[in-house]
Amino acid sequence: MRSLIPWRRMGTEPVGLLRNEMKDFFERFFPAAFEGNGGESKAVWAPRVDVSETDKEIQIKADLPGVDPKDMEISVTEGVLTLRGEKKEEHEEKKKDYHSVERFEGRFYREIPLPPGSDPEKITAASTKGVVTVTIPKTPKAQAKKITVKSQE
């Protein structure tokens, strides 16, 4: 009889069972986390972003520590802002007893749909201390118009 509980497969040793469950877990929650590239792995990740809006503009702040501005591309196509690029980082530590080198190389990609009324022709971007700030102005038609309520008493 076949078990309905996936971790209770018949004839599987506990260590192999745990290994399979962990593999399934990571494949479900982190699909395409690593892509093969000639025997090397490159992580693919999406930067965290904060989006804020005022009457006149939308501001997107993306955390991209260690990414050189020349290694990133920001574009707008059909109302979608795209952040993409590559991060290359190396940390080397030499001590009397050991020598350690850690490397990270990975591509990032993030799409953010822009609301109607955004002005893609006037988008600006600036990078400061690992945070990229993208400012998207709103068209005059999209800016909120305040209406004063008059008392008739």
Q: What is the pLDDT of residue 32?
A: 54
Q: How far apart are CA 36 and CA 84, in angstroms?
A: 19
Residue 60 Cα to chain centre, angstroms: 12
Neighbours of 83 (CB within 10 A): 22
pLDDT of res. 88: 81
- Could you give the domains of the chain? 12-42 (no CATH), 46-137 (2.60.40.790)
Residues 138/118, Cβ–Cβ less than 8 Å? yes
Q: pLDDT tens for residues 79-123? A: 899 999 988 877 888 888 888 888 777 888 899 999 888 999 999
Structure tokens at 126: 């600036």
Note the pTM of the prediction, 2 decimals.
0.62
Candidate from 1-10, 26-35, 85-94 with smallest mean pLDDT = 1-10
